[in-house]
């Protein structure tokens, strides 16, 4: 009974996603899932049923170089059973599958090969695309910026002085990089191509390649350390912030009211002479008029200078004294003020009797009341 129960029992799957998972005998810890196995003729089941072909155009300046290296390209493609054709009349390159083609993916590699040759990549670097662990990427940078001058500056920033920046990118990514016109061609591993694309796109978006190169150098050093190889590297990577200053907004010019008639041209010397009548005078009359104008201007200047010299000798205008308004005073009020003054003088004289330094105050003058 126990044996039957053991046979009936099945290993319970962990989680909902692993319900139909079964152990795979070929999947072990030492296997490299990212390794690309080489495709040999033994893996092929036979020749293809249909012919596949791809064609691409090339610029006229590449015609001379392609004629020189076409034999090398033919030998590289013939090893994979693919035929190629160079049409100089139409300016095109064509690749086709044959009965000897054993790798189905080889025709797609050949298509990338002729694209790289059309984008000015040397044949020595372009033929490496036929290897299994090598890929290519053609990055378009022509539509990133509208301004032509800005585009040229950023593209030159990607190349660097004497190609130093481009050389550093090639060493860090293990890829061949070529900047040609409005495209950037890269040949290398998938990981390196991803890094190259990020650097190129950031550079065309106004991020200097030096920042990404510095990050790649730090990552390479960390990958060589056995302890830090499997840890998070965010704390070691630099974090750059933009320090762009805001540009001052230009003042908007108000549009002037529209006038269908254009403005009059400025008056010339002849127009002014016609308006004053000087144009019709003889040479003698013109000379007399010029002499008269000079005399008048000289007389005005002399009168102005004479006025400035005599300005200091002109007396200042006398100030006018304002007359005080006369207010009539009542007689009863005048009598009361006189009596008050008399009483004050009497009281003061009594208090100062017997002292030598007592001074009698002077009585106030009564204002005259004119009736």
The pLDDT score that the predictor gives to residue 182 is: 94
The pLDDT score that the predictor gives to residue 7 is: 44
State how far the alpha carbon of 43 is from the alpha carbons of 38, 48, 78, 104, in Å.
Answer: 10, 13, 18, 11
CATH of domain 41-129: 3.30.1370.10
CA distance 141 to 160: 17
The pLDDT score that the predictor gives to residue 32 is: 79
State how far the alpha carbon of 169 is from the alpha carbons of 15, 221, 234, in Å.
Answer: 45, 16, 21
At how many degrees (to 10) do helices 209-224 and 190-204 cross?
Answer: 150
The pLDDT score that the predictor gives to residue 210 is: 93
The pLDDT score that the predictor gives to residue 364 is: 53
Q: Which residue has the tokens 């054709």?
A: 85
Q: Which residue has the tokens 């590289």?
A: 76
The pLDDT score that the predictor gives to residue 353 is: 56
Q: H/E element holding 364?
A: none
Instruction: Express each pLDDT in 62-104 by its tens digit.
Output: 999 999 999 999 999 999 999 999 999 999 999 999 999 999 9
The pLDDT score that the predictor gives to residue 330 is: 75
CA distance 102 to 48: 8
CATH 3.40.50.1970 fits 133-240, yes or no: no
Q: List phi, psi (to 5°) of 328.
A: -65, 145
Q: C-alpha angle with apex 44: 40 to 50, nearest 5 degrees?
A: 125
* Fold matches, 41-129 and 133-240: yes
Per the confidence metrics, is the pTM higher than 0.75? no
The pLDDT score that the predictor gives to residue 94 is: 97
Residues of the chain with pLDDT under 70: 1-16, 322-327, 348-371
At how many degrees (to 10) do helices 164-173 and 190-204 cross?
Answer: 150
Contact 121, 187 (CB under 8 A): yes
Q: Which residue has the tokens 């990981």?
A: 191
The residue extents of the domains of the chain are 41-129, 133-240
The pLDDT score that the predictor gives to residue 370 is: 43
Q: What is the DSSP letter of 356?
A: S
Contact 82, 108 (CB under 8 A): no
């Amino acid at each position: 009974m126990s044996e039957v129960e053991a046979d009936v029992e099945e290993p319970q799957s962990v989680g909902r996603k692993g319900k139909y998972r079964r152990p795979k005998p070929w999947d072990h810890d030492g296997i490299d899932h990212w390794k690309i196995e080489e495709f040999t003729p033994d893996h092929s089941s036979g020749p293809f049923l249909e012919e596949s072909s791809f064609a691409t155009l090339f610029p006229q300046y590449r015609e001379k170089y392609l004629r020189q290296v076409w034999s090398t390209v033919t030998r590289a493609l013939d090893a994979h059973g693919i035929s190629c054709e160079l049409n100089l009349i139409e300016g095109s390159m064509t690749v086709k599958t044959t009965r000897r083609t054993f790798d189905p993916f080889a025709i797609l590699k050949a298509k990338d090969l002729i694209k790289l040759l059309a984008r000015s990549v040397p044949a020595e670097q372009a033929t490496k695309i036929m290897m299994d662990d090598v890929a290519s990427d053609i990055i378009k940078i022509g539509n990133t910026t509208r301004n032509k001058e800005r585009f040229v500056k950023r593209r030159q920033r990607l190349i660097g002085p004497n190609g130093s920046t481009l050389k550093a990118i090639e060493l860090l990514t293990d890829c061949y990089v070529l900047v040609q016109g409005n495209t950037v061609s890269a040949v290398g591993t998938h990981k390196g191509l991803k890094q190259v694309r990020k650097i190129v796109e950031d550079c065309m978006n106004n991020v200097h390649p030096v920042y990404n190169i510095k990050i790649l150098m730090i990552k390479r050093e960390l990958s060589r350390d056995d302890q830090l190889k499997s840890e998070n590297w965010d704390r070691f990577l630099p974090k750059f912030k933009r320090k762009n200053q805001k540009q001052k907004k230009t003042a908007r010019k108000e549009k002037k009211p529209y006038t269908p008639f254009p403005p009059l041209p400025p008056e010339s010397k002849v127009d002014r002479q016609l308006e004053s009548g000087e144009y019709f005078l003889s040479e003698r009359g013109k000379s007399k008029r010029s002499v008269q104008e000079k005399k008048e201007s000289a007389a005005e200047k002399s009168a102005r200078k004479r006025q400035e010299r005599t300005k200091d000798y002109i007396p200042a205008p006398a100030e006018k004294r304002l007359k005080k308004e006369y207010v009539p005073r009542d007689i009863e009020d005048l009598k009361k003020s006189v009596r008050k003054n008399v009483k004050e003088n009497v009281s003061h004289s009594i208090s100062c009797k017997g002292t030598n330094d007592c001074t009698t105050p002077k009585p106030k003058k009564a204002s005259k009341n004119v009736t």
